[in-house]
Amino acid sequence: MTPDAILREWFQKVWNEGDENTITRLAHPNTIVHGLAHNGAPVLGTAQFIEFYRAFRGAIQDVRIKVQLTVSEGDLVTGLCTVTGNHTGPGLQIAATNKPIQFEGVCILRIANGVIVEAWNFFDFLSFYQQLGMVQLPA
């Protein structure tokens, strides 16, 4: 499978279809994931990633991530994504707001032997938190 196909399958199966088994199929057990809300530290391994995944999907149960475009070079693939859904459940340290969310971001994956071994996430979590009322910027 090409890096592009792995990235697209990751977002389709894991996030859009909620197939948690795809995490352990497409990611190395010791994968390193940068840029997720994890006390500023990288998420280490699929077990820690699954904790983040369950919390996020618990809060945004209808999450959809559309891959707008991809660019590949060697063992790296980058995807520009749009995230949509509704905050209807717990899981992000606040009660459900029932607010719609939409934000964008970029994900870079490093692929080795057909699995994800490292990922960098640059999603607009500030906009996401503002939409939920978790963060307010001064006027």
Nearest to 117 by CA among 1, 3, 13, 35: 3
Per-residue pLDDT tens over the stretch 36-78: 866 779 999 999 999 999 999 999 999 999 999 999 999 999 9
Q: What is the pLDDT of residues 3-20, one digit of tens each?
A: 999 999 999 999 999 999
**pLDDT at position 38:** 64
Q: What is the CATH number of the domain that holds 56?
A: 3.10.450.50
| Residue 138 belongs to a domain | no
Q: Is residue 137 part of a domain?
A: no
For residue 48, the model assigns a pLDDT of 94
Q: How many domains does the chain have?
A: 1
- pTM comes to 0.93
* Overall average pLDDT of the 86-110 stretch: 94
Asked whether residue 125 is assigned to any structural domain, the reply reads yes
Residue 102 falls within a domain, yes or no? yes
Residue 23 forms part of a structural domain? yes
**18 lies in which domain range?**
3-132
Q: Are strands 27-34 and 100-112 parallel, antiparallel or unpaired?
A: unpaired
Percent of the chain at pLDDT above 70?
Answer: 99
Specify if 114 maps to a domain: yes
Burial tier of 31 (Cβ tally within 10 Å: 0-12, 13-18, 19+): buried
How many angstroms separate the CA atoms of 105 and 24, rounded?
23
Q: Is the residue at 122 inside a domain?
A: yes
Q: Looking up tokens 């749009």, which residue turns up? A: 82
Average pLDDT, the chain: 94
- Picking from 21, 1, 26, 19, the residue whose alpha carbon sits closest to that of residue 107 is 26
